[in-house]
Structures are given as structure tokens and as C-alpha cells.
Amino acid sequence: MKDKMLEYERSLYKQGFDLIAGVDEVGRGPLYGPVVVAAVILPKDYYVDGLDDSKKLTPKKRDKLYDIILENALDISIFEVSAQEIDEINILNATKKAMYNAIKGLKTIPNHVLIDAVNLEDLTIPFTSIIKGDAKSASIAAASIVAKVHRDRMLIEEEKIHPGYGFDKHKGYGTKLHIEKIKELGVLENHRKSFEPIKSMLNGSEEIEKRNKRKNKKD
């Protein structure tokens, strides 16, 4: 597993690149909250057992690896783009903005960047975009874990701020529970208004309000 997860890194080492940043996002799909990107620079040839796509790991395993990564990484940067800005510029552009800023936020300047699936056309540092990179590169997997744990902990806190929505369970994704709670408790400021079914709910509410206003005028 170690050889597989370090294949891209070792190829770059041979080309003279020794400071490699892995970059990944978490939260492109949810109906609530920010998209979060982490950029992580690991020591050369570094691997810890279990490094993989964060979605494949249990919360307990992610938390353990998160602590190990924070302790051993040469540098880590995290950047968030809010739900409001996602609605303004769309999720792809929001993800790219978060990636650029996470890389920019690194105190150590990498000489190559490995990115999960996204092309950053304006990045001045050499980069490689890898489809499903979080399952193929230790650097991207580390970034995936850092971003996932960061965002999950944020959503657990959101449940304390907005109790009853179940954020600690669904983490903002469009589960049956989440949809039911939105219908019951209403749309919040940090729900993504441009995403279905939030958009349809709001449009439906506006249409009902218009009909009621027309009815009241007639009465």
C-alpha cells in the first residue's frame, strides 16, 4: 500500500521536486455550510499506515490520522468558502478559489502540487491533477483527511448553534433526515440557496406567498 500511495511522489522526487503539496476539498455536494480545502506538505517519502481517501475511513480512524498528520506534516493550510459565496460564484469556482488560497496560505512554498481531480489553470507552481487522487497519493489523502475532519467538526458545532437539524449526523449533506428537518424548521442562512432542493423549497414558498397576497387583495 505504501508503494502505491507514494508512486506519484516518488516519480516527482526523481525529477528533483522535494516539497510536494497535496490538495483536496471536502464539501462540494452538501446543502449546508462551506466547501473546505486543505493543502498539506508531508516529509519526503512519508507514509503512515491507513492513509487513504477520507470517505473510506471510519470517523475514529480519520481522527487518529488527523492528529498524526498535524504532528508530522511540514506545513498545513486550510481555507473555506462560505455557502453565500458558493451561491454567488458556483461550487466549481468556489472550490478552485479555496484551493488557490489554501496553497497560498502555506508558509513553506511547494515546488509541485498534487491536486485531486481539479485543474488550477492560473497556478504558477507546477501541478498534477489526479482523478481519485485521494486514493492514489499519500499527499492528497492527507489533505483529504485534514479537510474532512475540519469540516465535520465544524458541522458538529453547527448542531449546537442550530439544534434539531441533525448536522452532527448528516454533516450538511442532502439526506432524508436533513430534507425533513429543513421542511420542519426552515432554511438557514448557511444553506446553499442555489442547490436543489433548497432552491425549489424557496421558490415554492415565494409562489405561495405571492398567491396569498393576491388572494388577500381580492378579499
User: pLDDT (tens digit, 9 = 90+) per residue, 52-85?
Assistant: 888 889 999 999 999 999 999 999 999 999 999 9
- The predicted-structure confidence for 168-214, as pLDDT tens digits, reads as follows 999 999 999 999 999 999 999 999 999 998 999 898 655 444 444 44
> 155 with 72: CB under 8 angstroms?
no
Cα separation, 204 vs 200, in Å, equals: 6
Cα separation, 49 vs 42, in Å, equals: 14
Instruction: List the single range of 43-57, 92-106, 126-140, 160-174 with lowest mean pLDDT.
Output: 43-57
Helix-, strand-, coil-residue percentages of the chain, each rounded to 5? 50, 15, 35
Q: 195 Cβ partners below 8 Å, 6+ apart? A: 31, 174
pLDDT higher than threshold 80 for residue 5: yes
> 121 with 100: CB under 8 angstroms?
no
pLDDT higher than threshold 70 for residue 219: no
Q: 161 Cβ partners below 8 Å, 6+ apart? A: none
CATH fold for domain 2-177 = Nucleotidyltransferase; domain 5 (3.30.420)
pLDDT of residue 152: 97
Cα separation, 127 vs 197, in Å, equals: 36
Q: Which residue has the cell 492527507?
A: 142
Cα separation, 106 vs 168, in Å, equals: 29
Instruction: Tell me the mean pLDDT in the region 112-121.
Output: 96
> 118 with 99: CB under 8 angstroms?
yes
Domain boundaries, the chain: 2-177
